[in-house]
């Protein structure tokens, strides 16, 4: 059933195309193998980068290299500045054997901890970033790669209109302000990857 008073996009009130509100580095072509929205998988280039990173952090055992607790903590501090924060921490704990049903605090809530004797395999390490990818955290992954000395190449800028402002029939837009940027955000002038959306209104009598 249609709404009696549907909301209108404020940008429909002006005679120029709406500007993009998301201006960021183009990362999908570097990170994703196949479709982005249907079972997105890390690209071969990303797998190679993660394999090199894993090799640098992992400890040599008698027959292979594997990340022990100290190796995992060193990696997590490098990307998140402290332990216990970030989705990488939570997924790493799961990959190392942490299970929600066996680790609860006094309040009964799950307490995520890195298992003291757990190991993070190369497959588990890659799975951490596979989980990040499926959550759409492209720019978070890019940050981690730079922090881990595997910065991604510059292949251009991705621009799209993600943010909108709507109004009802009770008000009328009197001014719309465009915020424009051609370089990836955040940068020295724009503190966020999303550009602001602003408008002024009058109340209809």
Per-residue pLDDT of the chain (205 residues; tens, 9 = 90+): 454 558 999 998 888 899 999 888 788 888 998 766 667 899 999 999 999 999 999 999 888 999 999 999 999 999 999 999 899 999 999 999 998 766 666 666 778 899 999 999 999 999 999 999 999 899 899 999 999 999 999 888 888 898 999 999 899 999 998 898 888 888 888 888 889 999 999 998 8
Task: Specify whether 103 is located in the same domain as 168.
Answer: no
Which of 28, 84, 92 lies closest to 54, judged by CA? 92
For residue 138, give its domain range.
31-152
Could you tell me which residues come within 8 angstroms of residue 97 by beta carbon, excluding any fewer than 6 positions away? 115, 118
Instruction: Of 39, 43, 40, give the one whose Cα is nearest residue 29.
Output: 43
Short-list 32, 54, 45, 53, CA closest to 137: 32
Q: Please check whether residues 69 and 101 belong to one and the same domain.
A: yes
pTM to 2 decimal places: 0.74
Residues facing residue 199 across a β-bridge: 176
Q: Are residues 113 and 199 in the same domain?
A: no
Within this chain, do residues 141 and 72 fall inside the same structural domain, yes or no? yes
Spatial distance between the Cα atoms of 28 and 196, rounded to a whole number of angstroms: 24
Same domain for 18 and 54, yes or no, is no
Task: Provide the number of structural domains found in the chain.
Answer: 2
């Amino acid at each position: 059933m249609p709404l009696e008073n549907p909301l209108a996009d404020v940008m429909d009130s002006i005679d120029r195309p709406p500007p993009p509100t998301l201006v960021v580095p183009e990362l999908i072509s570097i990170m994703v193998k196949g479709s982005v929205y249907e079972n997105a998988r890390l690209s071969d280039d990303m797998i190679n980068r993660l394999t090199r990173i894993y090799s640098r952090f992992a400890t040599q055992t008698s027959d292979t290299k594997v990340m022990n607790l100290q190796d995992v903590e060193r990696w997590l501090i490098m990307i998140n500045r402290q332990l216990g924060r970030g989705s990488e921490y939570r997924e790493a704990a799961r990959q190392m054997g942490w299970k929600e049903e066996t680790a609860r605090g006094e309040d009964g809530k799950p307490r995520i901890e890195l298992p003291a004797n757990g190991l993070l395999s190369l497959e588990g390490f890659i799975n951490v970033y596979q989980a990040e990818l499926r959550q759409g955290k492209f720019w978070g992954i890019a940050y981690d790669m730079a922090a881990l000395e595997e910065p991604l190449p510059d292949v251009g800028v991705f621009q799209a209109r993600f943010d909108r402002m709507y109004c009802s029939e009770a008000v009328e837009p009197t001014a719309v302000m465009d915020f424009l940027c051609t370089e990836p955000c955040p940068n020295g002038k724009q503190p966020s990857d999303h550009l602001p959306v602003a408008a002024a209104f009058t109340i209809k009598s």
